[in-house]
Amino acid sequence: MLKTRKIILITGCGGLSTAVAKKFATEGDIVIFLARNKKMLAEARNRIAEIGECFAYQLNVTDEQRTKKIVAAIYKKFKSIDVLVNAAGILGPVGPFHENSFSDWKEALNINLVGTACVCHAVLPFMIKNRAGSIINFSGGGSVQPMPNFSSYAASKAAIVRLTENLAREYATYGICVNAVAPGVIKTAFMKNTLAAGPKKAGKDYYEKMVAQNKIGGDSPDLAADLVFFLSSDTSHGLTGKLISAKWDPWKKFTAEEVVRINANSEYALRRIDNQFFYEKK
């Protein structure tokens, strides 16, 4: 039986977005980039078009009206939007919070969090209509622990996880799965900009960690792409509302029984469990 080609929307067009696009294109799916940098967008589209069918739309993901217009046009053309991957994002200002440009601080929240929410908001009505879909939002290490000197980035990534958890519960009855992915320390603009900030702003320990990661090439974006593909497939058995690390979590071993168990408790999620006011769900 021939594989049904899925319609994949991917925001951003950097190294991580392109790795994800390559994975889906290799599997025969139709990839559509949404990104604001015209030159990078064209380069990413051309690269993926060598593998499979690929389209690109120039878009600032915080532009609500244009986002809705483009998403509606895509749905009209293909009659489906099967997977949304929110990979667009920026690092934001680096350094002690009080020294940050507050306008730059807000911009990171706007692009990372509001941009993610904006595209989800535009896509969800069509997934509801088809009673199926998968949304994967990129988060990161900054979402699960303090990340000194990267407050706007960390705050936006933590908020993305909570948004993911909310949407997973709100839209589960429509057959829509929503998850977040921590891709690891990949050699992207994040690493480049952290190194450019220097040890004084980034913090000596974290800066040295980035220097070491840069020397070995960083974590593989292909591993994150494989996880995204897994979460958008039937193989993930309906896993939803979770933050999964591409590098550290045993997602390749998740069975159907394991997913039922994980979905029913606080693993891979943001929770406060003190057994006094907040209890583990039994």
**Residues with a known catalytic role:** 153
The arrangement of strands across the sheet holding 133-138 comes to 54-58, 30-35, 7-11, 83-86, 133-138, 176-182, 243-245
**Residue with structure tokens 């933050």?**
243
Tell me the one-letter amino acid at 209.
Answer: K
Handedness of CA 106, 111, 117, 121 (dihedral sign): positive
CB atoms under 10 Å from CB of 209, counted, come to: 14
Q: Nearest to residue 245, comparing CAs of 161, 150, 168, 151? A: 161
Q: How far apart are CA 40 and CA 46, in angstroms?
A: 10
Tell me the one-letter amino acid at 120.
Answer: C
Beta-ladder partners of 180:
137, 243
Helix, strand, coil shares of the chain, percent, nearest 5, are 55, 15, 35
Q: How far apart are CA 56 and CA 74, in angstroms?
A: 11
Q: How far apart are CA 144 and CA 264, in angstroms?
A: 20
Q: Nearest to residue 135, comparing CAs of 55, 222, 241? A: 241
